[in-house]
Amino acid sequence: MTAVTNPHGTTGTLPIGEFRPERGGRLPHAELRYRVFGDLALAREHGAILVFHALTGSADIDSWWEPLIGPGRALDTRRHPVIAANLLGSCYGSTGPAPVTDGSFPVLTTADLARAHIPLLQQLGVEHLALVTGGSLGGMVALQWGLVTPVPVGRLVVFAAPGRTMPQAIAWNAAQRMAIEADPAWAGGRYAPGHGPTAGLAAARAIAMITYRSQVEFGERFGRLQTRVPGRFDIEHYLRRHGDKLVARFDARTYVQLMHAMDLHDVGEYAPAGRTTARRVGEVIGVGIDTDILYFPSEVQEWVIGYAAGGARARYEEITTPYGHDAFLIEFDQVERILRG
């Protein structure tokens, strides 16, 4: 375990030893890049906070939830150390398929991604968690954490994530896979690092971006505004720019790997899952987003109701927004109110 401590907390890479994914294969020397914001010593008195990032996120909570983390903020580093790791399988410092060119990287599930955090908490000496949270893929992993957490959790706050991934969401991922495969640089995932399918990944990102937002926002923001290229609309420029930006910072193998984890996401029957979760988790809050077209609010409500039926203290909250799925990364006031509880 290499770790650097500075006034802003600790950054490190933690070897978690051999990791055996539930669907087979093994990672003999898995590592997680992690960050701790605030003073770990506070964990003993107040508990730590554990945060899981979304599909293309990282352990750098201060970049994507900047207004929510820090002294006095919703994730209050004066009271709690706030811990995040780059998910197993991702490309921001943790063990993942990005450098693996022979297709041998094993399938990971959201349960695997949660479970990989157990050694991290052990090494950091965290014995209870005040709050566990995440959105989208991070929300799925948070739900799975409720089933495997070795330490007590005060509140589990899950943003914009279903209990199991429904076919339309799998369909969006399938279309993205097809777009990536249409780019011959994909080569079945057997490309040299840095030589991946840029046009395919950009097209995939464009598909995803539409599902992350809403027609309400697009209507208000872009309408039928056009660029200087005749017949080319601003909305298309926006999508292409987002495609280019992702290609510059993300690996296609990682993207495909984590999309597959999302497809496979399934906590099982909701009442038993709620019963298991209630053993160690004080309260579960499922947060739907009213304009979310990727994971519909009804899907969040469904597992909340099931969890409650299974004996968990579970309730539903909703973010009201024109921004769609991405609202958990945009509507900071509402996210803060929910995180503060």
For the chain, give percent helix, strand, coil, nearest 5. 45, 20, 35
CB nearer a copy of itself, residue 112 or residue 263: 263
Nearest CA among 200, 128, 140 for reference residue 169: 140
* Opening angle at CA 296, ends 223 and 137, nearest 5: 100
The verdict on 167 binding a copy of itself (CB under 8 A) reads yes
Q: How many Cα atoms sit within 13 Å of 302 on the Cβ side?
A: 16
Report residue 134 as tokens: 């995440």
Task: Using CB under 8 A, pick the residue from 168, 241, 315, 337 that binds a copy of itself.
Answer: 168
| C-beta of residue 142 within 8 angstroms of C-beta of residue 122 | no
CB of 172 to a copy of itself, least distance (A): 7
Contacts of 12 (CB under 8 A, 6+ apart): 1, 2, 3, 4, 33, 34, 35
* Of 1-9, 209-217, 247-255, 329-337: span binding a copy of itself (CB under 8 A): 209-217
Site string for a copy of itself, 134-163 (x = CB under 8 A): ------------------------------
Rounded-to-integer distance, Cα 57 and Cα 292, Å:
19
Report residue 303 as tokens: 């597992």
Active-site residue, from 53, 117, 265, 325: 325
- Pick left, alpha or beta for residue 93 (phi over 0 → left; psi -120 to 50 → alpha; otherwise beta): left
Go through 278-312 and write b for each residue having 16 or more CB atoms within 10 A of its CB, e for each that does not. Answer: bebbebbbbbbbebbbbbbbebbebbbbbbbebeb
292 is an active site residue: yes
* Of 66-74, 95-103, 215-223, 308-316: span binding a copy of itself (CB under 8 A): 215-223
Q: Report residue 205: phi and psi, to 5°.
A: -60, -40
136 is an active site residue: yes
The verdict on 210 binding a copy of itself (CB under 8 A) reads yes
CB of 174 to a copy of itself, least distance (A): 4
Nearest CA among 163, 194, 213, 208 for reference residue 56: 208
CB nearer a copy of itself, residue 125 or residue 184: 184
What type of residue sits at position 5?
T
The verdict on 268 binding a copy of itself (CB under 8 A) reads no
Active-site residue, from 251, 263, 292, 326: 292
Active-site residue, from 58, 136, 183, 326: 136
Rounded-to-integer distance, Cα 301 and Cα 173, Å:
23
Report residue 80 as tokens: 């709690």
* Contacts (CB under 8 A) with a copy of itself, residues 170-199: 170-172, 174-175, 177-184, 197, 199
CB of 301 to a copy of itself, least distance (A): 14
The verdict on 305 binding a copy of itself (CB under 8 A) reads no
CB of 167 to a copy of itself, least distance (A): 4
CB of 328 to a copy of itself, least distance (A): 20
C-alpha distances out from residue 92 to 105, 205, 334, Å: 16, 18, 28
The verdict on 164 binding a copy of itself (CB under 8 A) reads yes
CB of 247 to a copy of itself, least distance (A): 11
* Contacts (CB under 8 A) with a copy of itself, residues 28-67: none
CB nearer a copy of itself, residue 38 or residue 197: 197
39 is an active site residue: no
Active site residues: 136, 292, 325
What residues make contact with a copy of itself under the rule CB under 8 A?
A: 23, 107, 164-168, 170-172, 174-175, 177-184, 197, 199-200, 202-203, 206-207, 209-210, 214-215, 218-219, 221-224, 230-231, 233-236, 239-240, 243, 260, 263-264, 266, 293, 296
